[in-house]
Structure 1
Amino acid sequence: MDAAPESRNVRVHINVKGNFFTLPKSLPLLNEGASVVFTVGAAEGLGAAMTAAKGALLPLVRSLAIELAPRR
C-alpha cells in the first residue's frame, strides 16, 4: 500500500465523505433548477488509496443524479 492507514483514511474522508455530507447542506441554498458539479480527476498514479477514493465518487454521483432528479 502506498500510505499509512491514517493517510488512507484521510483521503477517503476528504474525497468521499466530504462530498457526500456537503451536498445535503448546500441543497437548501440552491435555486430551482440549479446544477451541482462534482469534479473527479484521474487518480491513476497517485496510489491505491487516492484511486479508490476517486473511484468511489463516480457511482455516488450517478446515484445522486437519480435521487435529486425530481428537484428539477
Structure 2
Amino acid sequence: MVLRCKEAKSYGTKKFIEGVFSDGDSCLIIEDSGSSIIETVKDLEALDVVCSNAIVLLDREQGSGVF
C-alpha cells in the first residue's frame, strides 16, 4: 500500500509517494473522488510503478445506508 501526498512535506521522508514498492511493481489505484488519479499515475510511473487500473468509490448520498 502506498499513499500519495498532495505536496512533499518539509519533514519526515519529504517524498510525494509514501510506502513500500519496487521498480516494475504493478498497482491498483483506489480513489475516493477520482480527481487526482492522473496526478497519482504520473507520480507513480516516474518511480517505475505500473498503473493500469483504478477504482473510484462514490457515495451518491441517496440514503440507502449500504456502502
Higher helix share: 1
Tell me the TM-score normalized by structure 1.
0.28
Higher strand share: 2
- TM-score of the two chains, using structure 2 as the length reference: 0.29
Relative contact order, higher structure (CA 8 A, sep 6+): 1
